[in-house]
């Protein structure tokens, strides 16, 4: 049976991998964050059989507005869980609030292997890490 992964779990895994890279402050232009997470989600979907997981969400980017409503919801949930701090209402800048211990805990409990999250960070966030 495949493990279900939620948008909150996926976002927490990516944020944890970013935190362990030593980066905590991000400034992204316009819909760059949406584009990066949409591409990372596509990688997740393409590997779901290998990873024995099934996402119950999507980070598809709206073609009209260039953003993802579900990513915005997940970011707000991450803010409520004190994983990140959003520095402005347009989601262009955010700070990661996780320490290494908490980041390790998220990665250890995730249904997705830590190596996958590390590869996502290297592939889609390398220029900001």
Q: Where are the alpha helices (DSSP H) in 21-85?
A: 32-46, 48-51, 69-80
Domain locations in the chain as residue ranges? 3-128
Answer yes or no: is pLDDT of 32 > 90. Answer: no
Residue 91 has pLDDT above 60, yes or no: no
Residue 112 has pLDDT above 90, yes or no: yes
Distance of alpha carbon 79 from alpha carbon 93, whole angstroms: 13
* pTM value surpassing 0.85: yes
Of the spans 12-16, 27-31, 92-96, 122-126, which averages the highest pLDDT? 12-16
Residue 68 or 50, more confident: 50
Local confidence band at 29 (pLDDT 50, 70, 90 cut-offs): low
Neighbour-count burial for 22-38, b at 16+ CB within 10 Å, e otherwise: eeeebebeebebbbbbb
Q: Residue 31: is its pLDDT beyond 90?
A: no
* Closest to 40 measured CA to CA, from 7, 80, 2: 7
What is residue 30's predicted lDDT score, i.e. its pLDDT?
Answer: 64
Least confident of 14-23, 38-47, 62-71, 102-111: 62-71
């Amino acid at each position: 049976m495949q493990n279900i992964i939620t948008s909150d779990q996926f976002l927490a895994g990516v944020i944890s991998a970013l935190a362990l890279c030593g980066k905590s402050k991000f400034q992204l232009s316009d819909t760059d964050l949406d584009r990066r997470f949409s591409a990372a989600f596509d990688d997740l979907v393409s590997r779901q059989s290998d990873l024995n997981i099934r996402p119950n969400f999507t980070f598809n980017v709206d073609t009209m507005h260039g953003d993802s409503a579900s990513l915005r919801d997940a970011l707000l949930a991450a803010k409520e869980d004190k994983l990140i701090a959003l520095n402005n209402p347009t989601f262009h800048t955010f700070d990661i609030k996780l320490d290494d211990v908490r980041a390790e805990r998220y990665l250890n409990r995730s249904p997705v292997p830590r190596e996958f999250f590390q590869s996502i960070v290297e592939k889609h966030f390398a220029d900001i890490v």
